[in-house]
Amino acid sequence: MSALKEEWRSAKGIYTTIALSAVLGMGLLLLQQRLQIDLRILIGCWIVSLVWWLAWALYNLSYWRKLQALLPLLRGEKAREYIRGVEKLLQTAKGKDLKTSLRVNLAAGYMEVREFDTACSLLEELSDKQLNKDIMRLIRCVNLFQCYFQVGRYDEGLALYHANRSLLQWYENDEAQGSGVAVVNILAAIHEGRREEAERMLDAARSTWNDPSFQTVAQNIEDMLAWQSPCGPQ
C-alpha cells in the first residue's frame, strides 16, 4: 500500500497556503489597528510569510511529482528501479513529513520485491510522533502487519492489530484503504483460529473490492485457507 495517493496534494496544499496567508493578513491588520503598529511593517511580515509558505508548498510539490512519476515502476515489474528512485529522493528531501512519507513509500517498494525484513525495519523506525496523520498511521499499520506475517512474526502482528483496532475500524469502508484493512482483518481472524469468520469476511471483501491487486491477494488467502482445511486443498 503506497502512501502517495493519500498524501497532501500539491494544488490543494497551495490553495490552503494562500487561504491561511489571507487569514494571517486579516489577523495582522486587526493587530495593527489595536496596537497602532506601522502598517508597512505588518505588510512586510505578511508578504514574507506568504512567500515562505508558497516556497515550501512548491518544494513539496516538486517531490510529489517526482514520486508520482516513479509510481508506475512499482506495479510494472520494475520495483527495483522504483526503490532506487525513492532512495535518491530521500537523500535530498527536507522536512520531517516529507521524509516520513518517502520512507513509507520506500517500504512499499521493498514489500513488492518481497524483502519484508527491510520493509519491517523502515516501518518500525517510524514513531507515532512522526506519523502525524491518521491516514499515515493506518498505512504504516496495514503494511507492517502484512510484513510481520510474511516473516512469521505472528505475535507482533496480532499485537499491532489489536493496538490499532479503532483506527482500522474507522477506515473499513474507506474507498482507498478499505481493501487493505480487509486483508488485515482476515489474516488476523485466520491466525486467531476464527476460520469461519475469516471465510465470511473474505467473501464479503471480494464482492466489495474489485481492484485486481486485491483480488490476487484474496486468491492467495483462499489458497491458504484451503491448505489449512482438515481435508487439505480442494
pLDDT at 233: 45
Tracing cell 483460529 back to the chain, one arrives at 193
CA neighbor of 54 nearest in space, from 15, 27, 89, 22: 15
What share of the chain in percent tops pLDDT 70?
72
Neighbours of 131 (CB within 10 A): 21
How far is residue 86's CA from residue 191's CA, in Å, rounded to a whole number? 34
Tracing cell 517498494 back to the chain, one arrives at 109
Average pLDDT, the chain: 81
What share of the chain in percent tops pLDDT 90?
48
pLDDT at 182: 95
Band of pLDDT at residue 30, cut at 50, 70 and 90: low
Band of pLDDT at residue 46, cut at 50, 70 and 90: low
Band of pLDDT at residue 81, cut at 50, 70 and 90: very high
How far is residue 100's CA from residue 106's CA, in Å, rounded to a whole number? 10
How far is residue 110's CA from residue 122's CA, in Å, rounded to a whole number? 9
112-146 pLDDT per residue, tens: 999 999 999 999 999 877 787 899 999 999 999 99
Does residue 36 carry a pLDDT above 80? no
CA neighbor of 181 nearest in space, from 208, 150, 220, 212: 208
Residue 58 cell numbers, joined: 512548491
Does residue 224 carry a pLDDT above 80? yes
Do 105 and 67 contact (CB within 8 A), yes or no?
Answer: yes
Phi, psi of 126, deg, nearest 5: -90, 120
Measure Cα distances from 75 to 81, 83, 151 in Å. 11, 12, 22
pLDDT at 208: 93
Task: Work out the average pLDDT over 198-204.
Answer: 95
Task: Work out the average pLDDT over 96-107.
Answer: 90
CA neighbor of 74 nearest in space, from 65, 60, 63, 85: 85
pLDDT at 74: 86
Do 2 and 74 contact (CB within 8 A), yes or no?
Answer: yes
List every span in the chain annotated with CATH 1.25.40.10. 4-170
Does residue 47 carry a pLDDT above 60? yes
Task: Work out the average pLDDT over 165-174.
Answer: 95
What's the pTM value of the predicted model, to 2 decimals? Answer: 0.77
Domain 4-170 top-level CATH class: mainly alpha
